[in-house]
Amino acid sequence: MRLNGKVALITGAGGGIGGECALLFAAEGAKVVVSDVNEAAGRDVVERITKAGGKAVFVRSDVSKDADCAAMVRLAETSFGKLDVLMNNAGIMDSDDDGAVTTSEAVWERTMAINLKGVFLGCKHAIPALLRAGGGSIINVASFVASLGAATPQLAYTASKGGVLSMTRELAVIHARQGIRVNSLSPGPLRTELLMKFLNTDAKKQRRLVHIPMGRFGEAKEMAKAALFLASDDSSYMTGSNLLVDGGITAAYVTPE
C-alpha cells in the first residue's frame, strides 16, 4: 500500500476528482478526512470508504473561510493523530464566467475566494500540522487552462488556477528543506459534473473536445492515480512541479485530424 500509515485531508472530496482521490487513498492505506460543503455527498464517500474497510471522517468546510480551514486540519489531528497529505481540490467553475467584459465582479470574487484563497487558507493551516508530523505532501489542483488560454472563455477560473501554480512554486521553495513537498496537479478537460455543467451545450463540448489529441474527456479516476503519485513517496524528489494530465491538449499546436 503506497499510503500505508498516512493521514490525508482532501477538500472538495464529496465527488469528482476529490471523491475518487478519497476512495483511492483509503484503498492505498491512508486514513482520510473528507472535506466538502455538500454534507450528504461527503458522508456518502466516508460510508463507501468505511464499508470497504478503510478509515475516514467527514467535515463540512467552506474553504473560503479561515475558521473552516482551521477546523478541518484540527479534525485530522484529533481524529488520526497527525496530517501527512493535504490535497487542495475544492473549486468552482461558474457558468457565468466569461471574458473580462462580461464576467461580473461577483463571479470573479466568488471564484477567487474558493479557487485561490481556499488553497492559501488550506496551506496556511495545514503546513504547521505537516511540520508537526515531520513533513508531508501538499497537492494543489490547478488546471490545464493555467498553462494556456481556454477555447471557451472562463477568465476568473483561468486566472485563479494560474495563481494556484504560482503559489505552489513559492511554497515549494519556502518549505523544501522542512520536508514538505508542494506540487500542483493540472487536469485536462474531464467528464465531471463540474465541467459538464459549464460546457452546457453540445457545441461547447465539441469546441473543447476537438482540441484534445486523445479525442476524449478524461476521467476523475485517472486524476486520482496521478494524485496518488504526488501524495506517495514515489514522488519523493519532486517539488514545485506541475503535473499535467491532460490528454495531450497542452502539447497540441493545431486541431488534430
Tens digit of each residue's pLDDT (9 = 90 or more) over 28-43 = 999 999 999 999 999 9
Most confident of 31-35, 95-99, 189-193, 214-218: 31-35
Quick check: 69 and 129 in contact, CB under 8 A?
A: no
**What's the mean per-residue pLDDT of the chain?**
94
Q: How far apart are CA 196 and CA 190, in angstroms?
A: 8
For the question of residue 253 being annotated catalytic, the response is no
Spot the catalytic one: 157, 164, 182, 217: 157
Mean pLDDT across 9-38: 98
Structural domains in the chain, CATH included, are 7-241 (3.40.50.720)
Q: Read off the pTM.
A: 0.94
Mean pLDDT across 223-227: 98
Quick check: 35 and 72 in contact, CB under 8 A?
A: yes
Which H or E run contains 131? helix 117-132
Short-list 153, 148, 155, 150, CA closest to 107: 155
